[in-house]
Amino acid sequence: MAKLILKNVFKRYDDRKKKKGGKLADFAVNDLTITCSDGEFVGILGPSGCGKTTTLRMVAGLEEITAGEIYIDDTLINHLHPKDRGIGLAFEDYALYPPLTVYDNIAFNLRAKKMSEADIKKEVMRIAPLMKVEELLDMKPAALSGGQKQRVNITRALVRRPKLLLLDEPLSHLDGKMRQILRTELKRLHKEVGCTTIIVTHDQLEAMSLSDKICIMKDGLLQQFGTPYEVYDDPVNVFVAGFIGEPPMNLNKVTITEEDNILYFSFPESSVKIAVPSKYTKVLKTGRHVTLGIRPNDLLIAEDGSPVKIAVFENLGDEKRIGIRIGDEYLTLITSDETLYKQGDIIRIKVHEEKTHIFDIETGDKIRA
Protein backbone atom coordinates (compact mmCIF):
# COMPACT_ATOMS: atom_id res chain seq x y z
CA MET A 1 0.00 0.00 0.00
CA ALA A 2 1.62 3.17 -1.03
CA LYS A 3 1.39 6.49 -2.69
CA LEU A 4 3.52 7.10 -5.75
CA ILE A 5 4.59 10.54 -6.84
CA LEU A 6 6.50 11.38 -9.99
CA LYS A 7 7.79 14.95 -10.03
CA ASN A 8 9.07 16.49 -13.27
CA VAL A 9 10.61 13.24 -14.38
CA PHE A 10 12.75 13.23 -17.51
CA LYS A 11 14.42 10.38 -19.28
CA ARG A 12 16.86 10.60 -22.11
CA TYR A 13 18.76 7.71 -23.58
CA ASP A 14 22.36 8.56 -24.25
CA ASP A 15 22.60 7.05 -27.69
CA ARG A 16 19.63 9.11 -28.85
CA LYS A 17 21.31 12.31 -27.74
CA LYS A 18 24.31 11.60 -29.89
CA LYS A 19 22.33 10.73 -32.96
CA LYS A 20 19.96 13.65 -33.03
CA GLY A 21 21.90 16.33 -31.23
CA GLY A 22 19.88 16.37 -28.02
CA LYS A 23 16.72 18.18 -28.97
CA LEU A 24 13.80 18.35 -26.58
CA ALA A 25 11.86 15.79 -28.60
CA ASP A 26 14.56 13.26 -27.85
CA PHE A 27 13.39 12.79 -24.31
CA ALA A 28 11.81 9.38 -23.94
CA VAL A 29 9.91 10.80 -20.99
CA ASN A 30 9.46 14.54 -20.86
CA ASP A 31 8.54 16.39 -17.68
CA LEU A 32 6.15 13.80 -16.31
CA THR A 33 4.34 14.68 -13.10
CA ILE A 34 1.67 12.35 -11.73
CA THR A 35 0.44 11.30 -8.32
CA CYS A 36 -1.09 7.91 -7.64
CA SER A 37 -2.95 7.66 -4.36
CA ASP A 38 -2.86 4.70 -2.02
CA GLY A 39 -4.66 1.68 -3.40
CA GLU A 40 -5.36 3.22 -6.77
CA PHE A 41 -5.25 1.31 -10.04
CA VAL A 42 -3.53 3.57 -12.53
CA GLY A 43 -3.22 2.84 -16.21
CA ILE A 44 -0.44 4.34 -18.29
CA LEU A 45 -1.75 4.35 -21.83
CA GLY A 46 -0.20 5.35 -25.10
CA PRO A 47 0.99 4.13 -28.49
CA SER A 48 4.26 2.21 -28.69
CA GLY A 49 7.32 4.33 -28.12
CA CYS A 50 5.49 6.92 -26.04
CA GLY A 51 7.62 6.34 -22.95
CA LYS A 52 5.14 4.40 -20.86
CA THR A 53 7.33 1.35 -20.29
CA THR A 54 10.32 3.61 -19.67
CA THR A 55 8.32 5.35 -16.96
CA LEU A 56 7.48 2.05 -15.34
CA ARG A 57 11.09 0.91 -15.49
CA MET A 58 12.23 4.11 -13.85
CA VAL A 59 9.81 3.50 -11.00
CA ALA A 60 11.10 -0.07 -10.76
CA GLY A 61 14.70 1.11 -10.78
CA LEU A 62 15.74 -0.65 -13.97
CA GLU A 63 16.33 2.64 -15.78
CA GLU A 64 18.20 5.59 -14.46
CA ILE A 65 16.24 8.79 -14.02
CA THR A 66 17.75 11.60 -16.11
CA ALA A 67 16.10 14.32 -14.06
CA GLY A 68 13.25 14.66 -11.60
CA GLU A 69 12.16 12.86 -8.47
CA ILE A 70 10.16 9.74 -7.75
CA TYR A 71 8.68 9.19 -4.30
CA ILE A 72 7.03 6.13 -2.85
CA ASP A 73 5.26 7.08 0.38
CA ASP A 74 7.25 10.30 0.71
CA THR A 75 10.56 8.43 0.41
CA LEU A 76 12.73 9.58 -2.45
CA ILE A 77 13.62 6.41 -4.34
CA ASN A 78 15.76 7.81 -7.14
CA HIS A 79 18.89 6.12 -5.89
CA LEU A 80 17.39 3.20 -4.04
CA HIS A 81 18.29 -0.28 -5.27
CA PRO A 82 15.36 -1.95 -7.07
CA LYS A 83 15.05 -4.62 -4.41
CA ASP A 84 14.67 -1.99 -1.67
CA ARG A 85 11.89 -0.06 -3.35
CA GLY A 86 9.12 -2.36 -2.22
CA ILE A 87 7.81 -2.95 -5.72
CA GLY A 88 6.66 -6.02 -7.57
CA LEU A 89 7.14 -5.96 -11.32
CA ALA A 90 5.51 -8.32 -13.79
CA PHE A 91 7.55 -8.23 -16.97
CA GLU A 92 5.97 -8.08 -20.39
CA ASP A 93 7.46 -11.31 -21.70
CA TYR A 94 7.05 -13.07 -18.33
CA ALA A 95 10.79 -13.47 -17.64
CA LEU A 96 10.28 -16.64 -15.62
CA TYR A 97 13.41 -18.51 -14.61
CA PRO A 98 13.39 -21.43 -17.07
CA PRO A 99 15.46 -23.92 -15.04
CA LEU A 100 13.22 -23.61 -11.98
CA THR A 101 9.77 -25.01 -11.33
CA VAL A 102 6.86 -22.65 -10.87
CA TYR A 103 7.11 -23.15 -7.11
CA ASP A 104 10.79 -22.26 -7.10
CA ASN A 105 10.13 -19.32 -9.37
CA ILE A 106 7.69 -17.91 -6.87
CA ALA A 107 9.89 -18.83 -3.92
CA PHE A 108 12.98 -17.30 -5.52
CA ASN A 109 12.49 -13.92 -3.93
CA LEU A 110 11.70 -15.38 -0.51
CA ARG A 111 14.88 -17.44 -0.65
CA ALA A 112 16.82 -14.25 -1.29
CA LYS A 113 15.37 -12.96 1.96
CA LYS A 114 16.68 -16.06 3.73
CA MET A 115 13.23 -17.10 4.83
CA SER A 116 12.88 -20.61 6.26
CA GLU A 117 11.58 -23.26 3.87
CA ALA A 118 8.48 -23.78 6.01
CA ASP A 119 7.61 -20.09 5.90
CA ILE A 120 8.28 -19.98 2.16
CA LYS A 121 5.89 -22.84 1.63
CA LYS A 122 3.23 -21.09 3.70
CA GLU A 123 3.70 -17.86 1.78
CA VAL A 124 3.62 -19.49 -1.67
CA MET A 125 0.49 -21.40 -0.73
CA ARG A 126 -1.13 -18.19 0.47
CA ILE A 127 -0.40 -16.32 -2.76
CA ALA A 128 -0.85 -19.12 -5.31
CA PRO A 129 -4.66 -19.34 -5.05
CA LEU A 130 -4.97 -15.61 -5.73
CA MET A 131 -3.80 -16.11 -9.30
CA LYS A 132 -5.02 -19.74 -9.46
CA VAL A 133 -1.62 -21.29 -10.02
CA GLU A 134 -1.77 -24.05 -7.35
CA GLU A 135 -2.04 -26.71 -10.04
CA LEU A 136 1.03 -25.48 -11.83
CA LEU A 137 3.50 -25.42 -8.94
CA ASP A 138 5.43 -28.53 -9.99
CA MET A 139 5.70 -27.59 -13.65
CA LYS A 140 8.55 -25.92 -15.49
CA PRO A 141 7.83 -22.62 -17.28
CA ALA A 142 8.42 -24.20 -20.70
CA ALA A 143 5.34 -26.40 -20.19
CA LEU A 144 3.01 -23.48 -19.46
CA SER A 145 0.72 -21.64 -21.84
CA GLY A 146 1.00 -17.88 -22.27
CA GLY A 147 -1.84 -17.19 -19.89
CA GLN A 148 -0.43 -19.50 -17.24
CA LYS A 149 3.00 -17.93 -17.57
CA GLN A 150 1.51 -14.51 -17.01
CA ARG A 151 -0.36 -15.77 -13.92
CA VAL A 152 2.89 -17.13 -12.51
CA ASN A 153 4.66 -13.91 -13.44
CA ILE A 154 2.13 -11.83 -11.53
CA THR A 155 2.14 -14.27 -8.61
CA ARG A 156 5.90 -13.91 -8.42
CA ALA A 157 5.52 -10.14 -8.27
CA LEU A 158 2.86 -10.45 -5.56
CA VAL A 159 4.88 -12.74 -3.32
CA ARG A 160 7.27 -9.90 -2.68
CA ARG A 161 4.41 -8.24 -0.78
CA PRO A 162 4.93 -5.11 -2.82
CA LYS A 163 3.75 -1.70 -1.76
CA LEU A 164 3.44 -1.02 -5.43
CA LEU A 165 2.56 -3.56 -8.12
CA LEU A 166 3.81 -2.72 -11.60
CA LEU A 167 2.39 -4.56 -14.59
CA ASP A 168 4.09 -4.09 -17.94
CA GLU A 169 1.67 -4.91 -20.78
CA PRO A 170 0.50 -8.01 -18.92
CA LEU A 171 -2.16 -8.97 -21.44
CA SER A 172 -0.63 -7.97 -24.73
CA HIS A 173 0.80 -11.38 -25.66
CA LEU A 174 -2.36 -13.30 -24.89
CA ASP A 175 -5.11 -14.32 -27.24
CA GLY A 176 -8.48 -12.56 -27.11
CA LYS A 177 -10.32 -14.93 -24.81
CA MET A 178 -7.47 -15.33 -22.32
CA ARG A 179 -7.02 -11.59 -22.32
CA GLN A 180 -10.60 -11.05 -21.18
CA ILE A 181 -10.40 -13.69 -18.48
CA LEU A 182 -7.15 -12.35 -17.08
CA ARG A 183 -8.40 -8.79 -17.28
CA THR A 184 -11.31 -9.68 -15.03
CA GLU A 185 -8.93 -11.52 -12.71
CA LEU A 186 -6.65 -8.51 -12.48
CA LYS A 187 -9.58 -6.39 -11.44
CA ARG A 188 -10.61 -8.94 -8.82
CA LEU A 189 -7.02 -9.30 -7.65
CA HIS A 190 -6.72 -5.58 -7.15
CA LYS A 191 -9.87 -5.61 -5.02
CA GLU A 192 -8.55 -8.49 -2.89
CA VAL A 193 -4.98 -7.33 -2.44
CA GLY A 194 -5.75 -3.64 -2.51
CA CYS A 195 -2.23 -2.73 -3.38
CA THR A 196 -1.47 0.35 -5.47
CA THR A 197 -1.14 -0.93 -9.01
CA ILE A 198 0.22 0.59 -12.17
CA ILE A 199 -0.50 -1.04 -15.48
CA VAL A 200 1.19 -0.11 -18.73
CA THR A 201 -0.83 -0.83 -21.83
CA HIS A 202 -1.42 0.31 -25.39
CA ASP A 203 -4.95 -1.06 -25.37
CA GLN A 204 -7.41 1.65 -24.39
CA LEU A 205 -10.08 -0.91 -23.56
CA GLU A 206 -7.78 -2.50 -20.99
CA ALA A 207 -6.95 0.85 -19.45
CA MET A 208 -10.58 1.97 -19.41
CA SER A 209 -11.90 -1.22 -17.83
CA LEU A 210 -9.19 -1.69 -15.20
CA SER A 211 -8.01 1.69 -14.08
CA ASP A 212 -9.27 4.15 -11.54
CA LYS A 213 -7.18 6.74 -13.31
CA ILE A 214 -5.61 6.84 -16.74
CA CYS A 215 -2.44 8.61 -17.70
CA ILE A 216 -2.28 9.07 -21.46
CA MET A 217 1.13 9.69 -22.98
CA LYS A 218 2.41 10.50 -26.42
CA ASP A 219 6.04 11.03 -27.46
CA GLY A 220 7.14 11.15 -23.84
CA LEU A 221 4.68 13.86 -22.94
CA LEU A 222 1.74 13.50 -20.61
CA GLN A 223 -1.45 14.30 -22.50
CA GLN A 224 -4.10 13.81 -19.89
CA PHE A 225 -4.36 12.29 -16.43
CA GLY A 226 -7.83 11.57 -15.17
CA THR A 227 -10.53 9.01 -14.48
CA PRO A 228 -11.70 6.87 -17.41
CA TYR A 229 -14.87 8.92 -17.48
CA GLU A 230 -12.96 12.19 -17.69
CA VAL A 231 -10.69 11.12 -20.51
CA TYR A 232 -13.64 9.73 -22.42
CA ASP A 233 -16.04 12.55 -21.80
CA ASP A 234 -13.68 15.48 -21.82
CA PRO A 235 -10.55 14.75 -23.83
CA VAL A 236 -8.06 17.63 -23.66
CA ASN A 237 -6.88 17.30 -27.23
CA VAL A 238 -7.35 15.55 -30.55
CA PHE A 239 -4.87 12.81 -29.63
CA VAL A 240 -6.71 11.73 -26.49
CA ALA A 241 -10.05 12.07 -28.28
CA GLY A 242 -8.89 9.77 -31.06
CA PHE A 243 -7.14 7.30 -28.78
CA ILE A 244 -9.94 6.60 -26.34
CA GLY A 245 -13.09 4.89 -27.55
CA GLU A 246 -13.79 2.01 -29.91
CA PRO A 247 -14.62 2.79 -32.66
CA PRO A 248 -12.67 6.01 -32.26
CA MET A 249 -14.25 9.46 -32.23
CA ASN A 250 -14.98 10.97 -35.62
CA LEU A 251 -12.57 13.86 -36.08
CA ASN A 252 -13.40 15.98 -39.10
CA LYS A 253 -12.33 19.31 -40.43
CA VAL A 254 -15.27 21.71 -40.54
CA THR A 255 -15.81 25.43 -41.15
CA ILE A 256 -17.93 27.75 -39.04
CA THR A 257 -20.63 29.39 -41.10
CA GLU A 258 -23.43 31.74 -40.21
CA GLU A 259 -27.01 31.72 -41.41
CA ASP A 260 -29.82 33.82 -39.95
CA ASN A 261 -27.61 34.73 -36.98
CA ILE A 262 -27.08 31.08 -36.11
CA LEU A 263 -23.61 29.49 -36.25
CA TYR A 264 -23.19 26.15 -37.97
CA PHE A 265 -20.41 23.56 -38.41
CA SER A 266 -20.34 23.10 -42.18
CA PHE A 267 -18.73 20.12 -43.82
CA PRO A 268 -16.74 21.07 -46.92
CA GLU A 269 -18.23 20.01 -50.26
CA SER A 270 -21.54 19.24 -48.58
CA SER A 271 -24.74 20.89 -47.53
CA VAL A 272 -24.82 19.12 -44.17
CA LYS A 273 -24.74 21.55 -41.29
CA ILE A 274 -24.71 21.05 -37.57
CA ALA A 275 -25.81 23.84 -35.28
CA VAL A 276 -23.06 25.07 -32.94
CA PRO A 277 -24.11 24.59 -29.31
CA SER A 278 -24.91 27.92 -27.78
CA LYS A 279 -22.08 27.72 -25.21
CA TYR A 280 -19.52 27.96 -28.01
CA THR A 281 -21.01 30.93 -29.83
CA LYS A 282 -18.74 33.37 -27.99
CA VAL A 283 -15.46 31.63 -28.79
CA LEU A 284 -16.09 30.73 -32.41
CA LYS A 285 -16.13 33.19 -35.30
CA THR A 286 -17.53 32.72 -38.77
CA GLY A 287 -15.00 31.35 -41.24
CA ARG A 288 -12.80 29.64 -38.65
CA HIS A 289 -11.68 26.09 -39.38
CA VAL A 290 -11.85 23.67 -36.47
CA THR A 291 -11.68 19.94 -35.88
CA LEU A 292 -15.06 18.63 -34.89
CA GLY A 293 -15.19 15.54 -32.73
CA ILE A 294 -18.32 13.41 -32.61
CA ARG A 295 -18.45 10.06 -30.84
CA PRO A 296 -19.95 7.37 -33.13
CA ASN A 297 -22.84 6.88 -30.71
CA ASP A 298 -23.68 10.59 -30.70
CA LEU A 299 -24.59 10.38 -34.37
CA LEU A 300 -28.24 9.34 -34.52
CA ILE A 301 -30.46 8.10 -37.26
CA ALA A 302 -33.53 10.36 -37.30
CA GLU A 303 -36.41 11.07 -39.67
CA ASP A 304 -35.88 14.83 -39.54
CA GLY A 305 -32.09 14.66 -40.06
CA SER A 306 -29.90 15.44 -43.02
CA PRO A 307 -29.65 12.83 -45.78
CA VAL A 308 -26.28 11.07 -46.18
CA LYS A 309 -25.07 8.11 -48.21
CA ILE A 310 -23.85 4.88 -46.60
CA ALA A 311 -20.29 3.98 -47.63
CA VAL A 312 -19.76 0.95 -45.40
CA PHE A 313 -22.18 -1.17 -43.42
CA GLU A 314 -20.86 -3.60 -40.81
CA ASN A 315 -23.19 -5.89 -38.92
CA LEU A 316 -21.50 -6.95 -35.66
CA GLY A 317 -24.58 -8.67 -34.30
CA ASP A 318 -25.68 -6.64 -31.30
CA GLU A 319 -24.47 -3.40 -32.85
CA LYS A 320 -24.19 -2.13 -36.39
CA ARG A 321 -21.49 0.18 -37.59
CA ILE A 322 -22.34 2.48 -40.45
CA GLY A 323 -19.70 4.40 -42.33
CA ILE A 324 -21.05 7.49 -44.00
CA ARG A 325 -19.61 10.16 -46.19
CA ILE A 326 -20.39 13.84 -45.71
CA GLY A 327 -18.71 15.65 -48.55
CA ASP A 328 -15.06 14.49 -48.41
CA GLU A 329 -15.23 13.53 -44.76
CA TYR A 330 -15.80 10.02 -43.49
CA LEU A 331 -17.69 9.33 -40.28
CA THR A 332 -18.69 6.25 -38.36
CA LEU A 333 -21.85 5.83 -36.40
CA ILE A 334 -23.06 3.03 -34.18
CA THR A 335 -26.64 1.94 -33.94
CA SER A 336 -28.45 -0.98 -32.37
CA ASP A 337 -31.25 -0.50 -34.89
CA GLU A 338 -32.52 -3.75 -36.38
CA THR A 339 -32.65 -2.40 -39.93
CA LEU A 340 -30.09 -3.86 -42.30
CA TYR A 341 -28.78 -1.28 -44.72
CA LYS A 342 -26.54 -1.75 -47.65
CA GLN A 343 -23.92 0.32 -49.31
CA GLY A 344 -25.35 3.27 -51.21
CA ASP A 345 -28.53 3.59 -49.12
CA ILE A 346 -29.52 7.06 -48.01
CA ILE A 347 -30.14 7.57 -44.31
CA ARG A 348 -31.05 10.66 -42.35
CA ILE A 349 -28.83 11.55 -39.43
CA LYS A 350 -28.81 13.99 -36.59
CA VAL A 351 -26.07 14.93 -34.16
CA HIS A 352 -26.20 15.13 -30.40
CA GLU A 353 -24.96 18.71 -30.57
CA GLU A 354 -24.28 19.19 -26.88
CA LYS A 355 -21.94 16.22 -26.93
CA THR A 356 -19.71 17.48 -29.72
CA HIS A 357 -16.10 18.39 -29.02
CA ILE A 358 -14.19 21.07 -30.85
CA PHE A 359 -10.44 21.23 -31.22
CA ASP A 360 -8.11 23.87 -32.56
CA ILE A 361 -6.97 22.76 -35.97
CA GLU A 362 -3.36 23.88 -35.40
CA THR A 363 -2.58 22.89 -31.81
CA GLY A 364 -5.11 20.10 -31.48
CA ASP A 365 -6.14 21.43 -28.07
CA LYS A 366 -9.73 21.39 -27.04
CA ILE A 367 -11.61 24.65 -27.50
CA ARG A 368 -13.61 25.34 -24.36
CA ALA A 369 -16.60 27.56 -23.99
The distance of closest approach from Cβ of residue 213 to another protein in the complex, given in angstroms and rounded to an integer, is 25
The distance of closest approach from Cβ of residue 97 to another protein in the complex, given in angstroms and rounded to an integer, is 5
- Which residues are near another protein by CB under 8 A? 15, 60-62, 82-83, 87-89, 91-93, 95-99, 108-109, 112-113, 156, 160
Rounded-to-integer distance, Cα 224 and Cα 243, Å: 11
Q: Which CB, 28 or 222, lies closer to another protein?
A: 28
Q: Which CB, 88 or 220, lies closer to another protein?
A: 88
The distance of closest approach from Cβ of residue 295 to another protein in the complex, given in angstroms and rounded to an integer, is 39
The distance of closest approach from Cβ of residue 240 to another protein in the complex, given in angstroms and rounded to an integer, is 30
Q: Which CB, 93 or 328, lies closer to another protein?
A: 93
Q: Which CB, 161 or 279, lies closer to another protein?
A: 161
Q: Which CB, 59 or 221, lies closer to another protein?
A: 59
The distance of closest approach from Cβ of residue 165 to another protein in the complex, given in angstroms and rounded to an integer, is 12
Rounded-to-integer distance, Cα 59 and Cα 3, Å: 12
Q: Which CB, 153 or 335, lies closer to another protein?
A: 153
Q: Which CB, 109 or 252, lies closer to another protein?
A: 109
The distance of closest approach from Cβ of residue 103 to another protein in the complex, given in angstroms and rounded to an integer, is 15
Q: Which CB, 84 or 328, lies closer to another protein?
A: 84
| Strand positions, DSSP E, 122-244 | 164-168, 196-201, 213-218, 221-226
CB 241 within 8 A of CB 357: yes
Residues 58, 59, 61, 66, Cα dihedral to 10°? 40
CB 275 within 8 A of CB 318: no
Nearest to 289 by CA among 345, 367, 236: 367
Determine the distance from the C-alpha atom of residue 368 to the mean position of all C-alpha atoms in its chain, rounded to a whole number.
Answer: 24
Residues 313, 316, 317, 323, Cα dihedral to 10°? -30
Rounded-to-integer distance, Cα 156 and Cα 89, Å: 9
The distance of closest approach from Cβ of residue 170 to another protein in the complex, given in angstroms and rounded to an integer, is 13
Rounded-to-integer distance, Cα 123 and Cα 349, Å: 60
Measured in degrees and rounded to the nearest 5, phi and psi for residue 339 equal -60, 135
The distance of closest approach from Cβ of residue 162 to another protein in the complex, given in angstroms and rounded to an integer, is 10
Q: Which CB, 23 or 81, lies closer to another protein?
A: 81
Rounded-to-integer distance, Cα 285 and Cα 280, Å: 10
CA quadruple 169, 193, 162, 113: dihedral sign? negative
Nearest to 24 by CA among 216, 220, 217: 220
Q: What is the DSSP letter of 341?
A: P
* Edge-to-edge order in the sheet of strand 329-335: 329-335, 320-326, 299-315, 346-351
The distance of closest approach from Cβ of residue 83 to another protein in the complex, given in angstroms and rounded to an integer, is 4
